[in-house]
Structures are given as C-alpha cells and as structure tokens.
C-alpha cells in the first residue's frame, strides 16, 4: 500500500479513528491492533513475505530474552551471532545472493575460467533492508548493555512492524521507539496538526517534485547516448531532486503518520542540499541510516580515534557497505566510494562548517559556493546511483563534460523554476523542523492559504504515479 494512493487514504483514517476510540482504553490491545494493521499494510504488497518479518521478530525477541538472562560473554557473543546470522542471512539470500554469484562468475571469467552457475529468480521483499537493520540494532544494543530486553512480546512485534516506517524507514533504534509502545499515548492537538503538515509536505515532495522529475529523468537516462551534455547535467540534477523528494517525502509522511498516533519517529532528512560539505551532507541525508552505520560499523572499527590511514580505511568501509546496502550492484558500491573520497578530506582537514546565521536572509558568498560545490559532487555521484551499469555511468558523466555541455539544455524551464523555488522555501525554513513547519505564522488565513495552495499543487501538478525508489532497497 503506497502512502499516495486512495487505498491508504481510506486505510489510515480508519485505523486512526479506531486507534483513538475503540482501542484507546487498553495499551496492550492498542499495540496488538497496531501489529494487525501493520501486517495488513504489508500484506498489500506480498503477504508471503510477512513470514520473514514474523521470523525476524521472533528470533530477535528470543535472542533478546536470552541475552537478558546471561552474563557469560561467550554465550552473549553466540546469541548476538545468531541474531546477526539470521538477519544478515535473510538479506544475503533475498537481496545479495545473485549479485555475489554473478560477481564471482565475472571474476572467474576475467581470469579465463568461465563458470556455469544458475542464478535464482528471487523476489526482493519490500523493506527487508529497513526492518532487518532495525531489529539488529535491538540485539546489538542489548549485547552492549545499552538497553534492557523487553518481555512485552506485543510491544516488540509492534516495534518491528510499525507500519508508518516498516518499508522505508526511518530505521528506528529500540532505545527510542520501543519504550513508546510501553507507555500510554496521549492525543496532542498541536502534534497532530504538525503530523498533518508533515504528511501534506511529504505528499508535495513525492507527488509534485519527485514524480514530475521522474518523467524527465527516465527520458534523459534512457536516451543519454543521443543527449547533449548540458541536458544530461540537468538530468542528473532532476534525479537529485527526484530521489530527495521521493525518499524525504516518504519519511515525512511516515513521521507525520506516526505523530498522529502519538509516536515520535526520528528525523531522517534535514535540508541535505543546503550542506556545505559531504560530511555535513551525511549528517542531513538519510540520518537514520548514516547514524546506524556510524554506531554499528564506523565506531566498532575504531571511528576517528585511530591513525590517519586506519581512519581512511574505516571511512571507505562504511561508505562502500552503505552503497551496497542500497542495492546489489557495483554502481551503488562506486557511489559509496565517491562519497568516501570526498568525505575523507573533510574529516582530515576541515573541522567544522560555519552554521547558517538565523538572522541573515542570504548565505555568505563562501557558504553559497560551498553549497553549490557540495551539490555538484552529490549530483555527479547520483549518476552512478541511477545508472544500470558502471559503463553507462562513466559514459553519461563523460558526455556531461564534453563540449555539448555548453549548448542550450533541452529541459522544461518550468521544472528548473519549480526546483529553484522549492530550494528558496527550504532556505527560508532551514532552521525549522520541516519544510511545511509554518505553525509560527500567526495569521490563520495566511497559513490556510499556504495549505490550500499545497493541496491544489498536489492535485493539479502531480506527476504520474511512480513507485517509491527506496522500496527496492
């Protein structure tokens, strides 16, 4: 069930009404209700894969209980190993099996030994990378004794399957989300209104920005061989906004939906295209994933408290694994590699970026140049993310940096205007929680005019319905 469909427009208000009325009295019943509706929500894609979520939940709940009972380090390691083996095993089987087999075969072919191995026709379960990472964070935190194991199985099931963030995050930590299932939720008028604002803003990002950019992007990337460098450059820019609108739009709707039910999900995007360097970009883009990798990969590897060469190694490892998390293709690995390449100098040589002053209407020239440079690097890296093969990506970038870059791009000017206008809005709202966080505007009529303009834009300028990109990860 997609957030931007009529199915969800019927499903969610019904769930919300029942949640705050019929199931309000008992916390356990309310949690059980959330588990049931979350499973129904997921079943709209493929009910068969519900068994994977169920098994992942049972395994990690049981491991959690055993971890809580033993202080024996070897046993604790074995228990953590079971959890990691099971969750990573799911990922390896359903997401990476064919990738590794094919890479293995290609590697042998390179040395003149052709192998005949049949790859499996495996369907990728929606959201598998998200919920496995979420459950793994629970067992790792238990192992590190950062949290206590839960004995409330219904709450744990609800934590793993919570429908707003089940298929595309934010990837929540048990320490933040699980306790929220154990206390009675209270309806808050202001929080609910803000939840609606988040949903409205998210729908705008997804349906107006991302879906319209998608049409242009698909056309440009499909015909990149016969397209000018300038158009290809803007094709990559449009993709940058497509993936941003798509994913941050989804996250906003997820956070808003959860907020309407009295939950607080972590912020996943914080105006990433206003970043002044790549390191800052990763503190603003897909925050729940980048902090996951920071806490569970980068820091265990030694983090930044190591020698420079080891630090460089650690950063490369984190970004390459992060690239691989996005998809089983070398293009994603290379995308991660590029980011690592530009993050390392920032970590080594620049300690802190200058924050934007609240009272300044415009950024300084230095800030502006840094934003533009960072955006340019990010855009070029996105070409690898969007391309089907490395050859295509290099060819695409090669064409951008050709003489045809200086020709007039064949793109709709209205598209560029819309994106520029949107970035101006983001700049104005840069210190606010989200782009439609306009509760500070006292005049009710101005607020309502903005809401209706956004609603109108969603209905009138929505592009053709496109699947959310991050569902494939």
CA distance 294 to 171: 13
From candidates 1, 20, 45, 218, binder to another protein by CB under 8 A: 20
**Considering the rule CB under 8 A, would residue 84 count as an interface residue with another protein?**
no
What residues between 370 and 389 interact with another protein by CB under 8 A?
A: none
CB-based contact 230:409 (threshold 8 Å): yes
**Considering the rule CB under 8 A, would residue 107 count as an interface residue with another protein?**
no
CB-based contact 258:162 (threshold 8 Å): yes
From candidates 122, 357, 448, 453, binder to another protein by CB under 8 A: 448
CA distance 94 to 196: 35
CA distance 325 to 331: 12
Q: Where are the alpha helices (DSSP H) in 270-356?
A: 278-284, 287-293, 308-326, 330-349
**Considering the rule CB under 8 A, would residue 459 count as an interface residue with another protein?**
yes
From candidates 356, 394, 451, 471, binder to another protein by CB under 8 A: 451
From candidates 96, 462, 471, 472, binder to another protein by CB under 8 A: 462
From candidates 54, 461, 471, 472, binder to another protein by CB under 8 A: 461
Q: Which two tokens stand for residue 94?
A: 């359903």
Count of chain residues binding another protein (CB under 8 A): 21
Site string for another protein, 214-243 (x = CB under 8 A): --------xx--------------------
Q: Nearest approach, Cβ of 192 to another protein (angstroms)?
A: 5
- Nearest residue to 214 via CA among 393, 457, 465, 389: 465
**Considering the rule CB under 8 A, would residue 46 count as an interface residue with another protein?**
no
- Nearest residue to 261 via CA among 164, 171, 159: 164
From candidates 62, 103, 152, 192, binder to another protein by CB under 8 A: 192
For another protein, which is the closer residue by CB, 85 or 187? 187
Cβ-Cβ contacts under 8 Å for 446 (sequence gap 6 or more): none
For another protein, which is the closer residue by CB, 223 or 364? 223
* Catalytically annotated residues: 326
**Considering the rule CB under 8 A, would residue 88 count as an interface residue with another protein?**
no
- Nearest residue to 214 via CA among 472, 462, 471: 462
From candidates 107, 122, 193, 441, binder to another protein by CB under 8 A: 193
Q: Nearest approach, Cβ of 17 to another protein (angstroms)?
A: 9
**Considering the rule CB under 8 A, would residue 445 count as an interface residue with another protein?**
no
CA distance 104 to 223: 31
Site string for another protein, 172-191 (x = CB under 8 A): ---------------x-x--
Q: Nearest approach, Cβ of 55 to another protein (angstroms)?
A: 28
CB-based contact 355:276 (threshold 8 Å): no
Q: Nearest approach, Cβ of 122 to another protein (angstroms)?
A: 21
Helix/strand/coil (H/E/C) assignment for every residue in 210-276:
HHHHHHHHHHHHHCHHHCCHHHHHHHHHHHHHHHHHHHHHHHHHHHHHHHHCCCCCCCCCCCHHHCC
Interacting residues toward another protein by CB under 8 A: 6-7, 10, 20, 187, 189, 192-193, 196, 222-223, 448, 451-452, 455, 459-462, 464-465
């Amino acid at each position: 069930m997609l957030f931007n469909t009529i199915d969800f427009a019927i499903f969610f208000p019904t769930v919300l009404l029942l949640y705050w009325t019929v199931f309000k009295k008992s916390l356990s019943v309310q949690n059980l209700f959330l588990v049931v509706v979350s499973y129904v929500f997921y079943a709209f894609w493929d009910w068969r894969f519900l068994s994977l979520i169920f098994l992942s939940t049972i395994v990690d709940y049981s491991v959690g209980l055993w971890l809580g009972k033993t202080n024996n380090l070897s046993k604790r390691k074995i228990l953590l190993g079971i959890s990691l083996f099971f969750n990573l095993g799911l990922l390896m089987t359903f997401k990476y099996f064919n990738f590794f087999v094919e890479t293995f075969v290609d590697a042998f072919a390179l040395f003149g030994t052709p192998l005949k191995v049949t790859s499996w026709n495996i369907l990728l379960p929606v959201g598998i990378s998200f919920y496995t990472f979420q459950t793994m964070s629970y067992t790792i935190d238990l192992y590190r004794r950062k949290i206590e194991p839960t004995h409330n199985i219904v709450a744990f099931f609800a934590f793993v399957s919570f429908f707003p963030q089940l298929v595309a995050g934010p990837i929540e930590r048990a320490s933040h989300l699980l306790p929220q299932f154990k206390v009675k939720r209270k309806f808050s008028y202001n929080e609910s209104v803000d939840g609606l604002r988040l949903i409205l803003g998210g729908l705008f990002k997804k349906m107006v920005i991302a879906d319209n950019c998608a049409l242009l992007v698909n056309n440009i990337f499909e015909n990149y061989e016969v397209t000018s460098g300038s158009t290809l450059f803007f094709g990559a820019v449009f993709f940058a906004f497509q993936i941003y609108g798509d994913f941050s739009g989804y996250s906003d709707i997820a956070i808003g939906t959860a907020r309407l039910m009295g939950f607080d999900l972590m912020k996943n995007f914080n105006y990433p295209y206003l970043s002044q360097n790549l390191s800052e970009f990763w503190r603003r883009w897909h925050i729940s994933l980048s902090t996951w990798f920071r806490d569970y990969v980068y820091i265990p590897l030694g983090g930044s408290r190591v020698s420079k060469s080891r630090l460089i190694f650690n950063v490369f490892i984190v970004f390459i694994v992060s690239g691989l998390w996005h998809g089983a293709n070398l293009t994603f690995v290379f995308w991660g590699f590029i980011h690592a390449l530009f993050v390392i100098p920032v970590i080594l040589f620049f300690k802190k970026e200058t924050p934007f002053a609240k009272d300044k209407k415009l950024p300084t020239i230095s800030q502006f140049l840094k934003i533009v440079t960072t955006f340019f690097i990010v855009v070029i890296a996105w070409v690898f993310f969007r391309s089907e093969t490395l050859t295509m990506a290099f060819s695409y970038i090669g064409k951008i940096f050709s003489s045809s870059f200086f020709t007039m791009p064949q793109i709709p000017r209205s598209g560029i205007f819309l994106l520029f206008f949107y970035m101006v809005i983001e700049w104005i709202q840069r210190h606010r929680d989200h782009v439609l966080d306009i509760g500070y505007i006292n005049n009710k009529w101005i607020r309502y005019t903005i809401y209706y303009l956004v609603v109108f834009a969603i209905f009138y300028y929505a592009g053709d319905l496109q699947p959310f990109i991050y569902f494939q990860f």
